[in-house]
């Protein structure tokens, strides 16, 4: 695998394959599917698969099915099924009437398994899981045939029926295909087809006591649905001969073809469902929708847009070589989308009070601020200017460093959409902490960055009126891991958890227009980044905003 953190060329080799299939007459239409296992929440890697499958079907005038490969009820829940549906819809895709479950085909799959047993191509195995692994051999050594491999057909049929009837306990027997224990492809060394599970199924209830393995159900379900291009990630490439063996040896109604593409490897995160679940169950994150996770629920809650994720998937392309995509590419995708669409607002996250001594106490002046500086069609909003305002603590320095162009003692700065102010003195407490700044304003400077006598002010800062502001909680999220490859072989990924991946600020001062902010609107808090109201924790009178992304990549020099 390449360790270069780069963006792949925007290409899709699958388009070429499909185009040639249609032109040659090999296929008359295109039918793809997105086949998640409902054993967890979808993440950004699944988004790539969703965009590929639905995108190809749309481009070539075909259709894409949403199918749940629900073959393991021990790990599957209705909660995951519901979440997957919602995530696919949120990304902007619609399966129409083509919603399917592998479990809808359990009877047909069972009958096909009986067909294999009848033809001597499958047998009931009494070895336990550990023994089966030992008998299977290694990459350099062939497997050893099971002592139960040559059971008579009638005995296998009887045992398999009794397995279905629930006569045997979990793990006591399995059904295996009888293929080739010496095959260089371990997937063909008598793979398991069915196992016993006395577990209720979220879709079909208690109807079954045995369940097909994913490898057995997947290809045959593709065939039942008439899938033309069965698209999966590269780890299934070695399974393709098995996929084709089942199609060759069963009376399936159609002949799908499997194609593999490189999965998404994203820096500073983990993409394993098991590890994401471990983070959730161990309380290392707040849940599957924690805004620091790469889950679609988490990205959505944080404020990522469907457009930004679709654009990201299009940008990274579809290839067959494993590579790494830097998470900054995903972050830049949402920046580009929000820079164009997000209305502007002012919010002071770490406030310090500024008192304008030459402005009348108890009065306020209405000013107009553009909702988007490059889009006059987005209109403007009213903000208030008063004697006391809030500014960012970082926008003031008593002893300015080189290149500091914001407010200093005796220095001047322009208030965004407001006036030029000059700091006259600093009020501190007995410990030397700044309580407030005492300033004057230039009433003639409202329209520009020049003082009354023509001097130009270099610095422009944001602010809010103290009397017209609202107080809110703001959550600043950073990358969940401090290492670009926390999932590296031989390492415990949890040791790379970024202990500063979230900062919660509880006394932020926001302009009053944000009182009516809805949770679906993303805003640019001027100079601070892009934010959205948290759809879960924010309540009227107790607003919470999440930072979606900073205005620029703050990790560039790290």
Is residue 263 flagged as an active site residue?
A: yes
Measured in whole angstroms, the distance separating CA 390 from the mean position of its chain's CA atoms is 36
Query: Among the options 63, 176, 257, 273, which is catalytic?
Result: 273
Q: Which runs of consecutive H residues, i.e. helices, occur in 99-202? A: 106-118, 129-136, 153-164
Query: Could you tell me if 116 and 193 are in contact, meaning their C-beta atoms sit under 8 angstroms apart?
Result: yes
Residue 24: CA count within 13 A, CB half-sphere = 8
Among residues 33, 37, 302, 392, the one annotated as catalytic is: 37
On whether the CB atoms of residues 18 and 30 are closer than 8 A, the answer is: yes
Catalytic entry in 263, 275, 424, 446: 263
Q: Cβ atoms within 10 A of the Cβ of 24, count?
A: 8
Tokens of 384: 């208030």
- Dig out the tokens for 418 from the structure: 């407001």
The Cα–Cα gap between 297 and 300 comes to 5
Q: Given the structure tokens 């930072």, which residue do they identify?
A: 547
Strands 388-392 and 463-465: antiparallel
CB 32 within 8 A of CB 229: yes
Is there a catalytic annotation at residue 273? Answer: yes
What are the phi and psi torsion angles at 170 (to 5°)? -55, 135
DSSP three-state, residue 547: strand
| DSSP alpha helix (H) spans, 127-213 | 129-136, 153-164
Strands 364-370 and 412-415: unpaired
The dihedral sign for the CA sequence 337, 343, 344, 350: negative
CA dist 413 → 65, 421, 445 (Å):
58, 6, 11
Buried b (16+ CB within 10 A) or exposed e, 362-372: eeeeebebbbb
Q: How far is CA 182 from the centre of its chain?
A: 41
DSSP label at residue 394: G
The DSSP symbol for 278 reads: H
Catalytic residues: 37, 263, 273
């Amino acid at each position: 695998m390449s360790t270069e953190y780069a963006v792949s060329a925007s290409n899709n080799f699958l388009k070429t394959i499909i185009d040639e299939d249609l032109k040659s007459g090999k296929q008359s239409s295109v039918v793809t599917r997105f086949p998640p296992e409902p054993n967890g929440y979808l993440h950004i890697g699944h988004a790539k698969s969703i965009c590929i499958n639905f995108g190809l079907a749309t481009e070539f005038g075909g259709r894409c099915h949403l199918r749940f490969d629900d073959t393991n009820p021990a790990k599957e829940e209705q909660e995951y099924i519901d979440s997957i549906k919602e995530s696919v819809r949120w990304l902007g895709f619609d399966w129409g009437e083509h919603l399917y479950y592998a479990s809808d085909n359990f009877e047909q799959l069972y009958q096909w398994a009986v067909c294999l047993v009848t033809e001597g191509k499958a047998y009931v195995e009494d070895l336990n899981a550990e023994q089966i692994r030992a008998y299977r051999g290694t990459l350099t050594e062939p497997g050893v045939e099971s002592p139960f491999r040559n059971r008579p057909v009638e005995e296998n049929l009887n045992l398999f029926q009794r397995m279905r009837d629930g006569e045997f306990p979990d793990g006591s027997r399995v059904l295996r295909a009888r293929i080739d224990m010496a095959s260089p492809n371990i997937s063909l060394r008598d793979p398991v087809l069915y196992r016993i599970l006395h577990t209720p199924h979220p879709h079909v209830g208690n109807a079954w006591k045995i369940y097909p393995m994913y490898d057995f159900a997947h290809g045959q379900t593709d065939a039942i649905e008439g899938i033309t291009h069965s698209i999966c990630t590269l780890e299934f490439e070695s399974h393709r001969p098995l996929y084709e063996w089942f199609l060759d040896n069963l009376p399936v109604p159609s002949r799908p073809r499997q194609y593999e593409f490189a999965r998404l490897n994203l820096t500073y995160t983990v993409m394993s469902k098991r590890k994401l679940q471990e983070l959730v169950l161990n309380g290392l994150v707040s849940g599957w929708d924690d805004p620091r996770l790469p889950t679609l629920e988490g990205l959505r809650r944080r404020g990522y847009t469907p457009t930004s994720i679709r654009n990201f998937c299009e940008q990274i392309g579809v290839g067959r070589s494993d590579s790494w995509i830097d998470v900054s590419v995903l972050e830049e995708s949402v920046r580009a989308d929000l820079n164009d669409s997000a209305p502007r607002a002012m919010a002071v996250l770490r406030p310090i009070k500024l008192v304008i001594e030459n402005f009348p106490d108890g009065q306020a002046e209405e000013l107009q601020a553009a909702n988007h500086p490059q889009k006059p069609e987005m209109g403007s909003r009213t903000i208030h200017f008063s004697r006391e305002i809030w500014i960012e603590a970082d926008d003031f320095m008593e002893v300015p460093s080189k290149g500091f162009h914001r407010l200093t003692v005796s220095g001047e700065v322009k208030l965004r959409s407001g006036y030029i102010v000059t700091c006259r003195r600093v009020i501190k407490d007995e410990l030397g902490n700044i309580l407030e700044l005492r300033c004057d304003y230039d009433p003639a400077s409202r329209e520009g960055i020049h003082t009354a006598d023509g001097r130009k002010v270099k610095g422009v800062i944001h602010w809010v009126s103290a009397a017209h502001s609202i107080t809110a909680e703001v959550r600043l999220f950073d990358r969940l891991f401090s290492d670009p490859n926390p999932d590296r072989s031989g390492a415990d990924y949890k040791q790379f958890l970024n202990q500063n991946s979230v900062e919660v600020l509880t006394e932020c001062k926001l302009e009053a227009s944000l009182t009516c902010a809805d949770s679906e609107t993303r805003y640019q808090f001027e100079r601070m980044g892009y934010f959205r109201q948290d759809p879960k924790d924010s309540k009227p009178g107790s607003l919470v905003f999440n930072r979606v992304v900073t205005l620029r990549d703050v990790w560039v020099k790290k």
